[in-house]
Amino acid sequence: MTQSESDDTRPSERDVALIVGGGPGISSSCAKLFAENGMRVGIAARNPDKLVLQKLEKTHSVRRYACDASEPAAVELLFQNVVRDLGAPTLLVHNIDGRVPGIFRKGITEADPGMALDTFRNSAFSAFLIGQQAARIMRENNADANGTRGTIIFTNASAALKGFPSSGAFAMACHAKSGLAESMARELMPQGIHVAVVPIDAAIGWTQEDGTRAHRLAGTTVDDNMADPDRIAETYLHLHRQHRSTWAFEVVLRPWLEKW
């Protein structure tokens, strides 16, 4: 056997991963990969009874939690329950898109203000609440073999990289999430907490019940021009395993055929 990347990685069996936002894409892929690497895994979602999550519970012992992540009290309760059930989280993934459907592709003169505010609350504000609770817990963790007390990863979207036309509300939310992540990184990294943001500059596919890959955007076909969430999860795991001498903050992922 050759020496390999994994020799010096942390003992994952002591890791506790909490994934906020629950769907068949990145969240499911992370839950599987983290569990397969020995972590105890929880997923929080508004509706934790989705079939995809029930299945993860059976196949990967993933614990399911109901939580509206835009509500301060609900987020506080979530972390109390996770600590009680699984232990203190060492890896947090915030994976909520948050767009209210009615805001999609609306010009600035048409977009509903209430929907714009809700999009922010669902996305950046929930990231603030989740990140706040995670930071409170992680700074009390012992450092692992890589010197890490905990890792906080925020998924983000193309709208964090560029303000597209007819997407003002989503641009606000995604830029806000990036700004929060950057502030938290500068604040928490010297305390041993690795904060990262991963903008996925592409549509994201997922694996359907029948094993084929599906596409997030209705009316598009499944081709190479979308990101595979199983591969996104691998980069999240790599980020978690980085030694604190070499932490990455922002990693943009995009498919080889994506225009940018």
Q: State the DSSP string of 173-220.
A: HHHHHHHHHHHHHHHHGGGTEEEEEEEE-SEEEEE-TTS-EEESSTT-
When the beta carbons of 45 and 198 are compared against a second copy, the nearer one is 198
When the beta carbons of 47 and 58 are compared against a second copy, the nearer one is 58
When the beta carbons of 94 and 177 are compared against a second copy, the nearer one is 177
Residue 106 C-beta: closest distance to a second copy, Å: 10
Distances (CA, A) of 49 to 66, 87, 99, 100: 9, 23, 21, 21
Residue 250 C-beta: closest distance to a second copy, Å: 7
Q: Bridge partners of 145?
A: none
Residue 210 in tokens? 């029948």
Distances (CA, A) of 143 to 130, 150, 250: 21, 8, 22
Query: How far is the C-alpha of 177 from the C-alpha of 181, rounded, in Å?
Result: 6
Neighbours of 132 (CB within 10 A): 15
When the beta carbons of 139 and 209 are compared against a second copy, the nearer one is 139
Residue 159 C-beta: closest distance to a second copy, Å: 7
| Order of strands across the sheet that contains 213-215 | 213-215, 203-207, 226-227
Query: How far is the C-alpha of 179 from the C-alpha of 185, rounded, in Å?
Result: 10
Residue 134 in tokens? 């995670």
Of the candidates 109, 88, 120, 93, which has an alpha carbon nearest to the alpha carbon of residue 27?
Answer: 93
Residue 142 C-beta: closest distance to a second copy, Å: 15
Query: How far is the C-alpha of 244 from the C-alpha of 189, rounded, in Å?
Result: 8
Residue 45 C-beta: closest distance to a second copy, Å: 20
When the beta carbons of 113 and 219 are compared against a second copy, the nearer one is 113
When the beta carbons of 132 and 141 are compared against a second copy, the nearer one is 132
When the beta carbons of 45 and 202 are compared against a second copy, the nearer one is 202
Residue 39 C-beta: closest distance to a second copy, Å: 10
Query: How far is the C-alpha of 216 from the C-alpha of 202, rounded, in Å?
Result: 10
Residue 49 C-beta: closest distance to a second copy, Å: 26
